[in-house]
Amino acid sequence: MALIAPSLLASNFLRLEDECKMLNNSVADWFHLDVMDGRFVPNISFGLPVIEQIRTATTKTLDVHLMIEEPEKYAEAFAKAGANILTVHIEACRNLHRNVQQIKDLGMKAGIALNPHTPISSLVDIIEDIQLVTLMSVNPGFGGQSFIPYTLQKIKQLSQLIAERGIHVDIEIDGGVTLANAKEIIAAGATVLVAGNTVFKSANPIETIAALKGL
């Protein structure tokens, strides 16, 4: 059974309070919040003021996925806004170890996200310092894209690396997760599933979350 982290990028922003209540009433574990700056990815989503508001609407874990350049400039502000987990992209960090320490010093769990082209081997010297790896199973920037099948091999490689070290690090899969492919993703070793469109565009999001959780 994996943790379920619905991505509010696919929610109805006009009804954000209701969407938060729906997630509160569901078996969703984390709120996955996608922050985009129009530089690291070719899209702009939402930022600090929205996350501050969401913080007042839930006690569940806020899993903040930063798709931004220079994330070190904003880590403190995201901590103040209420983030529990802060994930930065390896491709956006020149001083990744320092950034990870900063996130932990601010009292948050540290995550590292890898784009589809970034190998698992790039984590070997940092894996013991972090709590979460987010493997992008689409190119980041947009919801509603198709799952890249090669991700399954990366999940297996990462599970093996974590097992070899004898540590616990969550493996989160982000992009194109559906009810049809989630089982295979979990079997490969994923411990957290992000789901945007699959949850929010379904006829019954609460049931869809429960179905994902039941796999």
C-alpha angle 162/164/165, rounded to 5°?
A: 65
Rounded to a whole number of angstroms, the minimum distance from the CB of residue 136 to Zn ion is 8
The smaller minimum CB distance to ligand DX5, of residues 32 and 154, is found at 32
Q: Does 170 bind Zn ion (CB under 5 A)?
A: no
Instruction: Kindly state whether residue 174 participates in binding Zn ion, applying the rule CB under 5 A.
Output: yes
Query: What DSSP state is assigned to residue 117?
Result: T
Q: Closest approach of Cβ 165 to ligand DX5, in Å?
A: 26
Closest CA to 133 of 166, 156, 152, 110: 110
34 binds Zn ion (CB under 5 A): yes
6 binds, among ligand DX5, Zn ion, none (CB under 5 to 8 A by kind): none
Kindly state whether residue 65 participates in binding Zn ion, applying the rule CB under 5 A: yes
Give residues in contact with ligand DX5 (CB under 6 A): 7, 9-10, 32, 34, 65, 138, 140-145, 174-177, 194-198
Continuous H helices in 56-95: 75-81
| Active-site annotation holds for 34 | yes
Q: Is 150 left (phi over 0), alpha (psi -120 to 50) or beta?
A: alpha
Helices (H) and strands (E) in the chain, counts: 8, 8
Catalytic residue from among 18, 29, 34, 170: 34
Q: In what order do the strands lie in the sheet with 3-6?
A: 3-6, 192-195, 170-174, 132-136, 109-114, 85-89, 61-67, 30-36
| Shorter beta-carbon distance to ligand DX5: residue 170 or 174 | 174
Is residue 37 part of the annotated active site? The answer reads no
Residues binding Zn ion (CB under 5 A): 34, 65, 174
- The residues annotated as belonging to the active site are 34, 174
